[in-house]
Amino acid sequence: MIPVLISWSGGKDCALALYEISSKNKYEIKALFTTISEEYKRISMHGVRKELLIRQIFSLGYPVHIITLPKNVSDEIYSDTMKKEMLKFKLSNVNDIVFGDIFLEDVRQYRENNLNKVGMNAIFPLWGKTSKEVAKRFIDLGFKAIITCVDSTFLDKSFVGQLFDDHFLSLLPSKVDPCGENGEFHMFVFDGPIFSNPINFKKKKIILRDNRFYFIDLI
């Protein structure tokens, strides 16, 4: 079996990518890795507390490698940090990283180019599917997720804190990607076929950051 590392954000695409990879007998999942903000102790852009991430990972049953990054990290520091971290896994004979990207060619090329520099490969199990297909499969498989962040240039405040389901999709404006692939929204997956138990949480206040992004605090 091929040992792989899963790029993990706690959201829908990585959860579905993990499901697709784990359902094949070809791969052995060695660990999940994620990045959190050094200042806020939260998953970048998703705004999810580290405590909930740990509970999520515990329910999945895989080892986790958490990479802490400073606020407003530069591209250069980010690339250098990730290179060092990936080399640690390469020394453990892990040469393949799984990502949940769907169709953004520039993002795929960025990941592949960076991994090529350290002699590693990128795997995209969801690549080539439409956002509607991915959203439908996620919901039909029984995954459950809550919207934790929305970009107010695409969606108003009312969308944050909603469940990602058929009703949510029916409310989206036509210009918004059903999977939020362009950064329109982010989410936290709290239940589904890859979890041993659901992650319990409470919804707290909604805040606006940078005059643009609405976040809901989950505890």
**pTM of the full predicted structure?**
0.94
Q: Examine the domain organization and report whether 107 and 146 are in the same domain.
A: no
* Final residue belonging to a domain, choices 123, 156, 190: 123
| Cβ–Cβ < 8 Å for 199, 191 | yes
Quote the CA–CA distance of 140 and 166 in Å, as a whole number.
Answer: 10
Q: Examine the domain organization and report whether 88 and 154 are in the same domain.
A: no
180: Cβ–Cβ under 8 A, 6 or more apart, which residues?
186, 187
Whichever domain contains 42, its CATH number is 3.40.50.620
Q: Examine the domain organization and report whether 16 and 116 are in the same domain.
A: yes
Q: Examine the domain organization and report whether 83 and 111 are in the same domain.
A: yes
Number of domains in the chain: 2
**Sequential DSSP letters for 192-214:** STT-SSPPP--EEEEEEETTTEE
Domain range enclosing 143: 131-218
Q: Examine the domain organization and report whether 27 and 113 are in the same domain.
A: yes
| Cβ–Cβ < 8 Å for 15, 146 | no
Q: Examine the domain organization and report whether 92 and 21 are in the same domain.
A: yes
In the sheet with 213-218, reading across from the earlier edge strand, the strands are 185-191, 144-151, 213-218, 203-209
* Final residue belonging to a domain, choices 123, 157, 185: 123
Whichever domain contains 165, its CATH number is 3.90.1490
Q: Examine the domain organization and report whether 28 and 75 are in the same domain.
A: yes
* Final residue belonging to a domain, choices 61, 91, 123: 123
Nearest to 146 by CA among 192, 187, 183: 187
What is the pLDDT tens value at each position of the chain, 219 positions in all?
A: 999 999 999 999 999 999 999 998 899 999 999 999 888 889 877 789 999 999 999 999 999 999 999 877 788 888 888 889 999 999 999 999 999 999 999 999 999 999 999 999 999 999 999 999 999 999 999 999 999 999 999 999 999 999 999 999 999 999 999 999 999 999 999 999 999 999 999 999 999 999 999 999 999
Q: Examine the domain organization and report whether 23 and 61 are in the same domain.
A: yes
Quote the CA–CA distance of 29 and 49 in Å, as a whole number.
Answer: 24
210: Cβ–Cβ under 8 A, 6 or more apart, which residues?
none
Q: Examine the domain organization and report whether 19 and 119 are in the same domain.
A: yes
Q: Examine the domain organization and report whether 103 and 42 are in the same domain.
A: yes
Q: Examine the domain organization and report whether 16 and 117 are in the same domain.
A: yes
